[in-house]
Amino acid sequence: MKRSIFLALLASWLLSSAVLSAATHLGPFQRLVVLEEGRKKPLDTFARNLLKQFSGRASLAGMSASAWLARVFFTPEKTFDDKIFLVNQPDVLAAMGVEGEGRGRFSFSRLRPGLGRLHELAFQYANLQDSGKGRFENETLRLFYNVSAYYNLLEAFRSIQAGSAAHPDRQSASGLPAIVPLGGGPGEPWLSPAQVLAHGASLPATVQREISLLAQASRAYATGRKNDFGQALTAFNRSVQVRLGPQAVRSSKISMEIYYNHIDPFFKAELAYGLALLILLLSMALPRFRLDRLSALCLLGGSLAHTFGLIARMLIMNRPPVTNLYETFVFVAWTGVVMGLLMAWWQKTELGILAGGIAGIVFLAIAGRYSLDGDTLGMLAAVLDSNLWLTTHVVTISLGYAGCVVAGIFGHVVIIQKLLDPRSAAAAGTTRLLYAALAFGLAFTSIGTVMGGIWADQSWGRFWGWDPKENGALLIIIWCAILFHARLAGWIGQIGLAAGSIGAIIAVVMAWFGVNLLGVGLHAYGFTTGAARGLLAFVGGELLFLAVAVPLCKKNAAESGGNKAQQKS
Amino acid sequence: MTENKKRTISRLFRPLASLKLTVIALLLMAGLVIAGTVYQAANGLYAAQEKFFASWIIWLFGILPLPGLLLAATLLFLNLLAATIFRLPYHWRQGGLLLVHYGLLLLMGGGFFIALTAQEYSLTLREGESSRLALRVDEQGIQIDRRPEKVVLPVGIKLLDFEKSMHPGTGIPRSFTSRVEITTGRTKRMAVISMNRPLRYREYTFYQSSYSEDGMGGESSTFSVVSNTGRWLPYIASAMLFLGLAVHFLGMLAAALKKSRPRGSEMP
């Protein structure tokens, strides 16, 4: 009974959305449809991506991204003191002649005196080759692009609000949300309000009426008439919807996406997983209180939010769960958590919670970092779109990755158990779990790789092409096969298998994104340089762990006089 | 065959079935795949294939011979073949694993067969142009050092129209489509070749490979044409692999469930 109440509370927290109730007049504003990077999305998503790009966060001091963007659009001067520009390198501020220490968020008015210098610097760096840019140059450029984007946003509604023609400089300003479709057809351009004004008198009457609705809304917001603001935008949305027809923009998908944004399911799942791990630690310290069940419930609750997020994304985009790098992180995290839960359930072991919690929190954290680069619900290029083999092989391989990662986590546990007690009986149990996870990983990586081959054969006429991504998957398969056969041959025992499974994690991360880092500029700098460094640190750390722990384990085993044959069985 | 002869053969080949040899061959392959991939990042796919993936022997610094991937894979293949004869446990309970190993054998064997027999050509047509002549592409791409060999295909192909479409408001391509007319003997028919949707004709398959625009509204489309009689081999191997893994793991799962839940236990 207590358990179900707790679960209900947890679920309602996970699926509640604090922001949704806060500002009803913002509803129609969030629902404005923007065409960006080929996708029609709610303005709310546009706002969140923008604020994340500027500040690394999706909200500003308790204010939702949409609320912030509305202020930028309609009362621009009031946002000059908002601390929205994240500066990771204090040197950039110094070079701009602006005072400030450390990494932090700064307001437009704070940066303003240095903008001239920032512009000069960016002008110099923009033409550098990628290899010539260091952290400082990249951070300078990033700040410059963000401030420029903000500067453009300030003008987005100014001319409409004033009822004048657009400022000539601002007509072609890029990065402004294209919320007004010119015609109804699929090929017709979508324009930002300022661009529409620049377009002049040749506009259809409906578009002109929509523009005047936007002007009304804009003035209403500036003078604090929230109700009028909401009504004008509702009328605008309805007019656009009628013009486009119900097929072009699905109202239910827009609602779903806004709901998904506000719930922020992956962030909440991350918190729940963190809580699960924390309680698990407590339960190990205080075994009397049976806290392990509470910990399992937290993991389960987090996985509900996680599942909701995955399904919502599939419904919004009408596509399978894994189609880009971001989604592989989310999906592998999810698979890890589900595997952990199943193990906790079937095998009655808190090790499942440990492995699931770690896999969930680590990969969701990576996904969160990655999402700062822009919209994670991007459109797909021709080669990647709508092919059964392609989509299934990516999902299958991701399952395989998760299996290997979970096995590797158990590998750490086995080594630690062996360090604490060379004759540990628990280690044998952990090894069984490791074995199962590794077998799962090998099976799904193999199937996924073969399916990838089938896709390549169907699309390119060759089953195998020695592409780095293929090689990475092959390496995982070979490595897992080595572990199983070496164990059968008696070349490695429990410790060897544990160490080998940690090697499997290294193989997985190499195949997964190490391969991407080998190539040139696949993604924006923000992720890649940080990721390359993080990857090296991770691999270095694991190798160090192995180099120290494995000899210690062997020494312990030898000292305790453990029978070697028994060790290996 | 006499008992004696059988024993001799067995003595000769049994070591080939050794598990330790499996591990050694796999370790070799792992090292070569890593080395080849890193080498490829710096020197390109062609060089990496020549040096690592399609080579028998790699001469390190020109003097030290190391096994190439072809040698390692052959070793693994022979090891697997010997294992299926001498070592694998022939018992119905191990049916899944047996199927997996036979699938692998077929996958590798098929790979060797295709590498020896498949041919790849490249064919570029402007809109309105028709041709039977294709350029021979060898395994590593069109050869640069000598004039590409021209081959007459048994099918004539005419490009009627090429179309590409973009996601609205972006430079991200949504699809590439070529409408073609194929002529065989006295018959003609229209066909569509697009990304992920090749045209198959007997042992030939036509893939949309790339396109170009001449800036004056004219477009041309490039197809890769593959003739591969062993095309179905990896499919059968994959099916065996898949089935084998499924049988093996469902069996394992069933056993684990039977063991771990002696009485009705509840979710923690």
| Chain B: residue whose CA lies nearest to A388 | B196
Chain B residues with beta carbon closer than 8 angstroms to that of A474? 33
Q: What is the pLDDT of residue A556?
A: 83
B126 shares a domain with B222: yes
The CB density around residue A123, as the number of other CB atoms within 10 Å, is 10
Cβ of A453 and B238 within 8 Å?
A: yes
Closest in B19, B196, B248 to A488, CB measured? B19
| 3-state SS class at A40 | strand
Nearest to A383 among B26, B114, B195 (CB): B195
Whether residue B194 lies inside any domain: the answer is yes
Higher per-residue confidence, B268 vs A267? A267
- Identify residue A7 by its one-letter amino acid code: L
Q: Which residues of A touch B209 (CB under 8 A)?
A: 460
Question: By residue range, what is the domain housing residue B60?
Answer: 1-87
The answer as to whether B128 is a domain residue is yes
d(CA B266, CA A190): 56
What is the Cα A13 distance to its own chain's centre? 21
Instruction: Note the pLDDT of residue A120.
Output: 83
pLDDT value, residue B267? 38
B136 and B211 share a domain? yes
Hey, CA dihedral for A446, A451, A452, A453, is it positive or negative? positive
Residue A479: its chain B contacts at CB < 8 A? 30
In this structure, are B164 and B251 located in the same domain? no
**Residue B264 counted as domain residue:** no
* Structure confidence at residue A187 (pLDDT): 66
**Closest of A406, A312, A362 to residue A14, by C-alpha:** A312
Within 163-222 of B, beta carbons closer than 8 Å to A belong to 166-170, 172-176, 195-196, 198, 205, 207, 209
Of B39, B65, B87, the last residue of a domain is B87
Test A38 with B170 for CB contact under 8 angstroms.
yes
Confidence of residue B242 (pLDDT cuts 50, 70, 90): very high
CB A381 within 8 A of CB B172: yes
The per-residue pLDDT for A447 is: 92
Query: What distance in Å separates residue A39's CA from the closest CA in chain B?
Result: 8
- Exposure letters A282-302 (e unless 16+ CB within 10 A, then b): ebeeeeeeebbbbbbbbbbbb
- Scored b (16 or more CB within 10 A) or e, A176-208 reads bbbbbbbeeeeeeebbbbbbbbbbeeebeeebe
Q: Which two tokens stand for residue B205?
A: 């398959």
* CA separation for the pair A147, A152 (Å, rounded): 9
Specify the pLDDT at position B202. Answer: 74
**β-bridge pairing B64-67 and B57-60:** antiparallel
Task: Note the pLDDT of residue A112.
Answer: 85
Amino acid occupying residue A309: G
Long-range contacts of A174-180 (CB under 8 A, 24+ apart): A175/A149, A176/A152, A177/A32, A177/A34, A177/A36, A177/A43, A177/A46, A178/A34, A178/A35, A178/A36, A178/B169, A179/A32, A179/A33, A179/A34, A179/A35, A179/A43, A179/A240, A180/A207, A180/A210, A180/A211, A180/A214, A180/A240
Give the pLDDT score at A517: 67
Amino acid A370: pLDDT: 79
pLDDT at residue B264, as a whole number: 41
User: Are A196 and A210 spatial neighbours (Cβ–Cβ below 8 Å)?
Assistant: no
Q: Which contacts of B247-251 are long-range, i.e. CB under 8 A and separated by 24 or more positions?
A: B247/B95, B247/B96, B247/B99, B248/A443, B248/B96, B248/B97, B248/B100, B249/A439, B249/A440, B249/A443, B249/B96, B251/B93, B251/B96
Residue of B nearest to A350 (CA): B268
Task: Give the pair of three-digit tokens for residue A429.
Answer: 């149990």
Question: CB of B236 within 8 A of CB of B104?
Answer: no
Pairs of residues, one from chain A and one from chain B, whose beta carbons lie less than 8 Å apart: 153
Averaged pLDDT for residues B126-151: 66
Number of domains in chain B: 3
B81 and B51 together in one domain: yes
In chain A, the residue whose alpha carbon lies closest to the alpha carbon of B176 is: A382
Distance CA B203, CA A9 (A): 62
Contacts of A471 in chain B (CB under 8 A): 33, 36-37
Count Cβ atoms below 10 Å from residue B264 Cβ, excluding itself. 5
Q: Which pLDDT belongs to residue A21?
A: 47
Same domain, B174 and B190: yes
List of chain B residues whose C-beta atoms are within 8 Å of the C-beta of residue A465:
45
Residue B212 pairs in a beta bridge with B220
Residue A446: strand, helix, or coil: helix
Check whether residue B98 and residue B123 sit in a common domain.
no
Within this chain, do residues B101 and B147 fall inside the same structural domain, yes or no? no
Angstrom distance (rounded) from CA A405 to CA B69: 27
Rounded to 10°, the helix A65-74/A135-154 angle is 60
Question: Tokens 């709310």 map to which residue?
Answer: A44
Domain-embedded: residue B96: yes
Kindly give the interhelix angle for B95-117 and B69-86, rounded to the nearest 10 degrees.
140
CATH of the domain at B167: 2.60.98
What gap in Å lies between CA B26 and CA A453, rounded to an integer?
Answer: 20
Does residue B266 lie in a domain region? Answer: no
**Quick one: average pLDDT of B198-204?**
79
Residue B268 falls within a domain, yes or no? no
Task: Name the minimum distance, in Å, from the CA of B30 to any CA of chain A.
Answer: 6
Residues B83 and B36 in one domain: yes
**pLDDT at residue A560, as a whole number:** 76
For A499, counting Cβ atoms within 10 Å of its Cβ (0-12 exposed, 13-18 middle, 19+ buried), the class is buried
Q: Classify the C-alpha dihedral B81-B86-B92-B94 as positive or negative.
A: negative
Strands B173-184 vs B187-194: parallel, antiparallel or unpaired: antiparallel
- Statement to judge: residues B8 and B74 lie in one domain: yes
- Measured distance CA(A439)–CA(A317) in Å, rounded: 33
Taking CA atoms, A371 is separated from A87, A90, A106, A490, B12, in Å, by: 18, 23, 21, 45, 59
Is 0.90 exceeded by the ipTM? no
In a domain, B11, yes or no: yes
SS3 state of residue A69: helix
Q: How confident is the model at residue B148 (pLDDT cuts 50, 70, 90)?
A: low
The identity of residue A149, as a single letter, is A
Nearest to B167 among A189, A379, A486 (CB): A379
Give the closest of B30, B195, B237 to A482, CB-based: B30
Residues B222 and B234 in one domain: no
d(CA A459, CA B253): 35
Among B87, B102, B135, identify where a domain stops: B87
Backbone angles phi, psi at A5, to 5 degrees: -65, -45
Q: How far apart are CA A88 and CA A102, in angstroms?
A: 8
B123 and B171 belong to one structural domain: yes
Mean pLDDT, all residues of chain B: 81
Contacts with A, B 56-85, CB within 8 Å: none
Most confident range (mean pLDDT) of A373-377, B22-26, B54-58, B168-172 is B22-26
Q: Which amino acid is at B34?
A: I
The tens place of each residue's pLDDT in chain A, 569 residues long, gives 566 777 777 777 766 655 454 456 788 898 888 888 778 889 999 999 889 888 888 888 888 888 899 989 888 888 888 888 988 877 888 888 887 776 788 888 888 888 888 888 888 887 776 666 677 788 888 888 888 888 888 888 877 777 665 555 555 556 788 888 877 666 677 888 877 777 766 778 888 888 888 888 888 888 888 888 888 899 888 888 888 877 778 888 888 898 888 888 999 999 999 999 999 998 888 877 778 888 999 999 999 999 999 999 999 888 888 888 889 999 999 999 999 999 888 877 888 999 999 999 999 998 888 787 767 776 665 555 556 777 888 899 999 999 999 999 999 999 999 888 888 888 888 999 999 999 999 999 999 999 988 888 877 777 888 888 888 999 999 999 999 999 999 999 899 999 999 999 999 998 887 766 665 433 334 445 667 778 888 999 999 999 999 898 888 888 876 554 444 44
Residue B237 lies in a domain: yes
B181: which strand partners? B158, B190
- Paired tokens of A420: 């604490």
Q: SS3 for chain B, per residue? A: CCHHHHHHHHHHHHHHHCHHHHHHHHHHHHHHHHHHHHHHHHHHHHHHHHHHHCCCEEEECCCEEEECHHHHHHHHHHHHHHHHHHCCCCCHHHHHHHHHHHHHHHHHHHHHHHHHHCEEEEEEEECCCEEEEEEEEECCECCCCCCCCEEEEEEEEEEEEEEEEECCCCCCEEEEEEEEEEEECCEEEEEEEECCECEEECCEEEEEEEEEECCCCCEEEEEEEEECCCCCHHHHHHHHHHHHHHHHHHHHHHHHHHHHCCCCCCCC
Q: Which of A247-261, A309-323, B10-24, B208-222 has the lowest mean pLDDT?
A: B208-222
Q: What is the pLDDT of residue A214?
A: 87
Exposed / middle / buried, residue B186 (Cβ in 10 Å: 0-12, 13-18, 19+): exposed
Percent of chain B at pLDDT exceeding 70: 88
Instruction: Write down the pLDDT at residue B265.
Output: 40
User: Which of A50-59, A95-104, B1-10, B96-105 ranks highest by mean pLDDT?
Assistant: B96-105
A473-496: string of b/e by CB count within 10 Å (b at 16+)? bbbbbbbbbbbbbbbeeeebbbbb
Compute the half-sphere exposure of residue A463: CA atoms within 13 Å on the CB side of its CA: 24
Whether the CB-CB separation of A381 and A372 falls below 8 Å is answered with no
CB atoms within 10 A of CB A274: 17
Question: Is there a single domain that holds both residue B79 and residue B97?
Answer: no
Contact residues for A316 (Cβ-Cβ < 8 A; gap 6+): A253, A256, A257, A260, A377
Residue where a domain stops, chosen among B87, B106, B136:
B87
DSSP A555: H
Q: CA gyration radius for chain B?
A: 25
Residues of chain B found within 8 Å of residue A296, distances taken between Cβ atoms = 267-268
